[in-house]
């Protein structure tokens, strides 16, 4: 019985340590929230008006490649301000934004950012792996 208690105690300790190790740091939350806001605003501005193509006309594959390259270049420059790469942001953001309580708490402490965050066009940003667009 004593061995069982020791094993259970060690297992519980490991679970508790692992759980606290996965928590998102406040500095990381700040960095990712600010980046997401700027990305959303950049994308809204980028596609503002939508007069690049005639109504109902889709861009050609070449135009799509050009648009994608332009967006990735702008995105890379924007994320560089936060010492992030596009790949690092896309990889880590689902984990950061998965903890909605931490995000809501951060935004409630920064009302100016909360207003900008909530103003993002959720219906057009998509719901990729990161939740809110990018």
| b/e map 10-29, b = 16+ CB within 10 Å | eeeeeeeeeeeeeebeeeeb
Q: Give the per-residue pLDDT at 58.
A: 81
Q: Give the per-residue pLDDT at 42.
A: 92
Q: Give the per-residue pLDDT at 44.
A: 87
Q: Which residues of the chain have pLDDT under 50?
A: 16-21, 124-132, 134
Which CB contacts under 8 angstroms, 24+ apart, belong to 118-122? Answer: 120/36, 120/37, 120/40, 120/41, 120/44, 121/40, 121/44
* Per-domain residue ranges of the chain: 25-48+58-125
Q: Give the per-residue pLDDT at 54.
A: 59
103, 29 Cβ separation under 8 angstroms: yes
CA distance 27 to 38: 17
Q: What is the pTM of this model?
A: 0.70
Q: Give the per-residue pLDDT at 19.
A: 44
Find, among 40, 24, 21, 38, the residue nearest to 104 by Cα. Answer: 24
């Amino acid at each position: 019985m004593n061995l069982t208690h020791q094993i259970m105690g060690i297992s519980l300790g490991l679970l508790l340590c692992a759980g606290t190790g996965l928590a998102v740091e406040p500095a990381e939350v700040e960095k990712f929230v600010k980046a997401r806001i700027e990305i959303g605003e950049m994308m809204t501005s980028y596609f503002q008006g939508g007069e690049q193509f005639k109504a109902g006309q889709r861009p050609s594959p070449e135009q799509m490649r050009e648009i994608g390259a332009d967006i990735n270049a702008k995105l890379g420059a924007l994320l560089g301000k936060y010492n992030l790469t596009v790949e690092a942001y896309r990889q880590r953001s689902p984990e950061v934004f998965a903890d909605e309580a931490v995000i809501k708490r951060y935004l409630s402490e920064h009302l100016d950012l909360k207003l900008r965050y909530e103003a993002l066009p959720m219906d057009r940003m998509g719901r990729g792996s990161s939740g809110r667009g990018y």
